[in-house]
Amino acid sequence: MPRIRTALLGLFGEAEAPLVIPPDSAGWVRARQVATYQRYSLVIVTANLMNAGLMAAVMYSSPLRWIVVTWALAITGLMLVFLYQWAKRLKQPARETRSAGSINRAVRDTAVLGAVWGALPALCFASSPPEIQTIIATVVVGMMCGAAFIMLSIPRAGFSFIGLLALGGFIGLLSDPTPLHLFLCALFVVYIATMIFSVHRTFGEFVGRLLGERLAREQTDLIGMLLRDFEQAASDWLWTTDASGRLESGAARFCPSGQPPATLLDGFEANADTYELAAMMREQDSFSHLVVRSTSHCGHSWLSLTGKPIYRNGEFCGYQGVAADITAERESADRIAHLAAHDSLTGLANRETFRATLQEMLNYTDSRREAGCLLLIDLDRFKIINDTLGHAAGDSVLIEVAKRVRGIIRTAGVVCRMGGDEFAVAINQPGGDPVLLARQIIDAIERPYPFDGAVAKCSASIGLRRVAREDDDLEILVRQADLALYRAKAQGRGHVVEFDWTMDLEAQELMLLEHDLRSAIAGEQLHLVYQPLAGASTGIIAGCEALLRWEHPRLGNIAPDRFIDLAERSGLIVPVGEWVIRSAIAAAAQIHPGIRVAINVSPMQLRSNNLCSVFVNALAANGVAAERIEVEITESVLLADTEANLAVLQQLRALGLRISMDDFGTGYSSFSYLRKFDFDKLKIDKSFIDCLGKEDSSDAIVGAIIALARVLGMRTVAEGVETGSQLAALSALGCDEAQGYLFSRPVRLDALIDMVGAAPALPAEPLVPLADGPVVDIAQQRAS
Ligand code: C2E
Ligand code: CA
Ligand code: CA
């Protein structure tokens, strides 16, 4: 119903087409409506003139001649105007849009034509003979059908023409209302309704098609514009080739800085990726995101190519695709990959890359495998450079070490930094003796490192492990190289040690030992012995040092030199050390109160949180005065975590304990540590005492140490005094105390109490030093 309503309304004017036309397209649609209508101009003129002429000819002999002739002349006149307008329009350019007025003008013109045509049946039908009536009826229906067809692009024009013509028809028929004419009227109504309905329908489809075309055209324009924009500005561009691979479009973008390549493949470096591309193009395969590198004269950029073959009528006629310049992404990815695989300070490969290189080496099946060798390099006392010259100096030494090692290894293998002051070399090329290479590396590292005014010195130890045919486990390889390195370090500075299987056995033995040490604490296999410290000139015992002993149920007595180190590495030193502190303080309670007790404390114990409370509790539990206890630490305490360690030392001092520096003079820059903490006592290392009286330099050094200590308000103890002449020299140099086999070996508590008296007891007797000669244990001497 609403459609018919709209259609009927359309007949008399205002209704729009049933399709909603967007306002911004209305003018354009109107221009198409008018253009389509005008395309039929000649048909309209011909049909009108022919029909008008025919009617005039047929009715020329009838009494209505003058009416018909006038009518035909009117039609002819209208057609001449129509023709004139058509000819005028031909000279004008096609219009993109039209106003509503141009539609109205077309409606007006066709309405005039319709009215003139309607006059024919209205004036002539009723008074014509039946044969003429038939002709008039046929022409009227024919004109109506023609108008419906030709004017469907402007329905209002069609409706006004058909409507006015029909009106004339009805007037003609009804002026002689015979049953036949009434029947013809009814038929007319059906025709007109059908025509209006189909015009309306077809017009809807016509507009729909127009709008669809317009949308498609707009989209094509938009795509074209985007593509142009994209090709000019973006890093991606389109390219096409012919069947022979010659570039038809996009060539210039492949080589912005030089001569564009003729074929696609010409633009790229001859490498595996380009060969792959060539192979795919030969096979007419599609490819996607294939990365190739452009040739040097085109600026060495990285391109990602996607392409697919084009076929026309089943025949291959080239490729079309997209190229993208991915140089920036590629370079940043390379940079990230480099950062992930390399050490940022030295630029050497890092630990992960090193392991990957070793694994690759283990996968070799050819002669390279036998040439494989692993060097672990550790800088000796590097920490001292950091501590004394600063971290910037430390960094530049590491950078220089890296450079020197790389200079020696060159292409023979891969040099890596494993972290801190540890480096490694994986030799993976035949030729060259690895031991010789290792020696060269040490020599190179030992050359001085000059920088602004100062000169740093450094040395290195190297553990070496050759890859054998049967090796297949990376972990074992590295662990064994590490064992060799450990052995090299134990030998002092600047040694190369090659792994041998006894080391592995020792390592296993050490593991067992570590296991045993855990149970030793609980199983009462540990005990302390005490070595007296006597006045250097008086010989009166003023104190003693507690030294740890381990009686292993199977292996017998194990020297502390062997197991203290093991305990430190495994962390067991903390519980072992606590046991020592408690036992030594308990012993102090039994010894004459005039005798001080020295306790050795390892760096790792300083790092444990409850060192102070262990001392406080032990002192309180045994009623021992804190001043009687001396804590002996070595220089290494001041090497690592200095600030934290100094804070703990201050706390210990605050408890009233005395702090001694043990093994003084063995360190790299012992004197510099004296500035860091105010020690109560310096224990001059045995190595200086051994040379006393033999080397003038030793006498001078010991003399300087004693003099310096006195200036700084510290007491001095000489360790390992074995001869009377050593004691005499020390006494002459002003050393306060002496400790050594000359007075006594370390003895059990009861023996010490025998010597110095129990608590509370009389002050200890002076101890008479033995004359030069074989060292005699006073305890033994007393016992005998
Ligand atoms: P140290 O603290 O320098 O102890 C002195 C070492 O020199 C002791 O060896 C002692 O027996 C030895 N000695 C003393 N006088 C002479 C002498 O006239 N000639 C010779 N040749 N040697 C002499 P010991 O008892 O084997 O201890 C070795 C090291 O083990 C100690 O060196 C100390 O660093 C460590 N140590 C011992 N007990 C403990 C402990 O309870 N805790 C910690 N952390 N370390 C300990
Ligand atoms: Ca000591
Ligand atoms: Ca010592």
Tens digit of each residue's pLDDT (9 = 90 or more) over 219-231: 877 777 766 666 6
User: What tens digit of pLDDT does each residue of 714-729 get?
Assistant: 999 999 999 999 999 9
Distance of CA 421 to the CA centre of its chain: 27
Query: Which ligand 1 atom sits closest to the C-alpha of 577?
Result: 42
* List of long-range contacts for 260-264, beta carbons under 8 Å, 24+ apart: 261/298, 264/239, 264/319
Rounded Cα distance between 333 and 339, Å, is: 10
Confidence of residue 441 (pLDDT cuts 50, 70, 90): very high
> Given strand 247-249, what is the order of strands in its sheet?
247-249, 236-241, 315-325, 302-312, 287-293
Q: Cis omega (within 30 of 0) on the bond before 760?
A: yes
The arithmetic mean of pLDDT across residues 268-272, rounded, is 89
605 ligand 1 Cβ < 6 A: no
CA-proximal residue: ligand 1, atom 42 (nearest) = 600
Rounded Cα distance between 260 and 697, Å, is: 80
Spatial neighbors of 115 by CB under 8 A, at least 6 apart, are: 164, 168
Helix (H, G, I), strand (E, B) or coil at 400: helix
Query: Which ligand 1 atom sits closest to the C-alpha of 721?
Result: 18
Return the percentage of the chain with pLDDT > 90, whole number.
Answer: 46
The arithmetic mean of pLDDT across residues 598-604, rounded, is 95
Is the pLDDT at 15 greater than 70? The verdict is no
559 ligand 1 Cβ < 6 A: yes
> Given strand 459-466, what is the order of strands in its sheet?
413-419, 422-427, 373-380, 459-466, 496-498
pLDDT of residue 8: 46
Q: 593 C-alpha vs ligand 2 centroid, how far in Å?
A: 21
Return the percentage of the chain with pLDDT > 70, whole number.
Answer: 92
740 ligand 1 Cβ < 6 A: yes
Q: 584 C-alpha vs ligand 1 centroid, how far in Å?
A: 15
Rounded Cα distance between 497 and 145, Å, is: 113
pLDDT of residue 668: 63
Is the pLDDT at 185 greater than 80? The verdict is yes
Residues 400, 382: contact at Cβ < 8 Å? no
Distance spanning both ends of the chain, measured CA to CA: 140
More confident residue, 748 or 666: 748
Is the pLDDT at 7 greater than 70? The verdict is no
Taking Cα atoms as reference points, which of 204, 126, 192, 156 lies closest to residue 15? Answer: 156
Distance of CA 749 to the CA centre of its chain: 64
Is the pLDDT at 782 greater than 60? The verdict is no
Rounded Cα distance between 275 and 293, Å, is: 12
Confidence of residue 216 (pLDDT cuts 50, 70, 90): confident
114 ligand 1 Cβ < 6 A: no
Query: Which ligand 1 atom sits closest to the C-alpha of 580?
Result: 41
Residues 595, 544: contact at Cβ < 8 Å? yes
169 ligand 1 Cβ < 6 A: no
Rounded Cα distance between 370 and 272, Å, is: 30
The arithmetic mean of pLDDT across residues 536-549, rounded, is 95
Q: Counting Cβ atoms within 10 Å, is residue 92 exposed (0-12), middle (13-18) or buried (19+)? A: exposed
User: What tens digit of pLDDT does each residue of 290-308 get?
Assistant: 999 988 777 788 999 999 9
Longest Cα separation, the chain: 180
Backbone CA torsion sign across 236, 242, 247, 248: negative
Q: Counting Cβ atoms within 10 Å, is residue 489 exposed (0-12), middle (13-18) or buried (19+)? A: middle
Confidence of residue 774 (pLDDT cuts 50, 70, 90): very low
How do strand 454-456 and strand 459-466 relate by DSSP bridges? unpaired
Confidence of residue 665 (pLDDT cuts 50, 70, 90): confident
CB atoms < 10 A from the CB of 760, how many?
A: 8
Query: Which ligand 1 atom sits closest to the C-alpha of 529?
Result: 25
pLDDT of residue 230: 61
pLDDT of residue 19: 64
741 ligand 1 Cβ < 6 A: yes
Q: 717 C-alpha vs ligand 3 centroid, how far in Å?
A: 10
The arithmetic mean of pLDDT across residues 775-783, rounded, is 38
168 ligand 1 Cβ < 6 A: no
CA-proximal residue: ligand 1, atom 41 (nearest) = 548
Taking Cα atoms as reference points, which of 634, 637, 663 lies closest to residue 648? Answer: 637
Helix (H, G, I), strand (E, B) or coil at 686: helix
pLDDT of residue 720: 96
635 ligand 1 Cβ < 6 A: no
Q: 615 C-alpha vs ligand 2 centroid, how far in Å?
A: 18
**Which residue among 572, 600, 722, 778 has the greatest number of ligand 1 atoms within 8 angstroms of its CB, and so is best to mutate?**
600
Helix (H, G, I), strand (E, B) or coil at 1: coil
pLDDT of residue 220: 77
Is the pLDDT at 773 greater than 60? The verdict is no
Rounded Cα distance between 198 and 171, Å, is: 25
Amino acid at the residue 707: A
Rounded Cα distance between 740 and 585, Å, is: 22
CA 350 → CA 421, 425, 458, 480, distances in Å?
13, 11, 22, 20
Confidence of residue 23 (pLDDT cuts 50, 70, 90): confident
CA 355 → CA 415, 416, 441, 587, 714, distances in Å?
12, 10, 21, 52, 51
Residues belonging to the chain: 784
Confidence of residue 65 (pLDDT cuts 50, 70, 90): confident
CB atoms < 10 A from the CB of 116, how many?
A: 20
The arithmetic mean of pLDDT across residues 140-150, rounded, is 89
Q: 580 C-alpha vs ligand 3 centroid, how far in Å?
A: 17
Q: 547 C-alpha vs ligand 1 centroid, how far in Å?
A: 6
Taking Cα atoms as reference points, which of 428, 401, 756, 770 lies closest to residue 592? Answer: 756
Give me the residue label for tokens 């564009």.
260
The arithmetic mean of pLDDT across residues 393-408, rounded, is 95
723 ligand 1 Cβ < 6 A: no
Spatial neighbors of 114 by CB under 8 A, at least 6 apart, are: 147, 160, 161, 162, 163, 164, 165
Confidence of residue 90 (pLDDT cuts 50, 70, 90): confident
∠ CA 680-684-685, nearest 5°, is 135
Query: Which ligand 1 atom sits closest to the C-alpha of 568?
Result: 44
CA-proximal residue: ligand 1, atom 10 (nearest) = 746
CA-proximal residue: ligand 1, atom 21 (nearest) = 720
Ligand nearest to the CA of 604: 1
568 ligand 1 Cβ < 6 A: no
Neighbours of ion ligand 2 (CB under 5 A): 600, 632, 662
CA-proximal residue: ligand 1, atom 8 (nearest) = 547
Q: 705 C-alpha vs ligand 1 centroid, how far in Å?
A: 21
User: What tens digit of pLDDT does each residue of 625-639 get?
Assistant: 999 999 999 988 877
Confidence of residue 119 (pLDDT cuts 50, 70, 90): very high
Q: 337 C-alpha vs ligand 1 centroid, how far in Å?
A: 52
Query: Which ligand 1 atom sits closest to the C-alpha of 599?
Result: 41
**Which residue among 533, 562, 564 has the greatest number of ligand 1 atoms within 8 angstroms of its CB, and so is best to mutate?**
564
633 ligand 1 Cβ < 6 A: no
Q: 522 C-alpha vs ligand 3 centroid, how far in Å?
A: 27
Q: 370 C-alpha vs ligand 2 centroid, how far in Å?
A: 48
Is the pLDDT at 365 greater than 90? The verdict is no
Amino acid at the residue 75: I
Confidence of residue 389 (pLDDT cuts 50, 70, 90): confident
Backbone angles phi, psi at 42, to 5 degrees: -65, -40
CB atoms < 10 A from the CB of 35, how many?
A: 14
Give strand ranges (E) for 75-128.
Answer: none
Rounded Cα distance between 594 and 543, Å, is: 8
The encoded tokens of residue 408 equal 């020696």
Rounded Cα distance between 398 and 390, Å, is: 13
Confidence of residue 383 (pLDDT cuts 50, 70, 90): confident
The encoded tokens of residue 572 equal 């067991």
Ligand nearest to the CA of 663: 3
Confidence of residue 232 (pLDDT cuts 50, 70, 90): low
42 ligand 1 Cβ < 6 A: no
pLDDT of residue 735: 96
Is the pLDDT at 766 greater than 80? The verdict is no
Q: Please give the radius of gyration of the chain, using alpha carbons only, rounded to the nearest integer.
A: 57
Rounded Cα distance between 416 and 430, Å, is: 19
How do strand 629-633 and strand 658-664 relate by DSSP bridges? parallel
Give me the residue label for tokens 């021992």.
624
pLDDT of residue 780: 40
600 ligand 1 Cβ < 6 A: yes
Residues 424, 374: contact at Cβ < 8 Å? yes
Is the pLDDT at 4 greater than 70? The verdict is no
CA-proximal residue: ligand 1, atom 19 (nearest) = 720
Helix (H, G, I), strand (E, B) or coil at 770: coil
Spatial neighbors of 580 by CB under 8 A, at least 6 apart, are: 528, 546, 548, 599, 600
Query: Which ligand 1 atom sits closest to the C-alpha of 742?
Result: 18
Query: Which ligand 1 atom sits closest to the C-alpha of 601?
Result: 44
User: What tens digit of pLDDT does each residue of 612-626 get?
Assistant: 999 999 999 999 999
- Across all residues in the chain, what is the average pLDDT? 87
pLDDT of residue 282: 93
Across the strands, what pairs with 550?
526, 558
pLDDT of residue 226: 67
Q: Counting Cβ atoms within 10 Å, is residue 647 exposed (0-12), middle (13-18) or buried (19+)? A: exposed
CA-proximal residue: ligand 1, atom 35 (nearest) = 560
The arithmetic mean of pLDDT across residues 524-542, rounded, is 94
Backbone CA torsion sign across 699, 700, 705, 706: positive
How do strand 315-325 and strand 737-738 relate by DSSP bridges? unpaired
Q: 718 C-alpha vs ligand 3 centroid, how far in Å?
A: 9
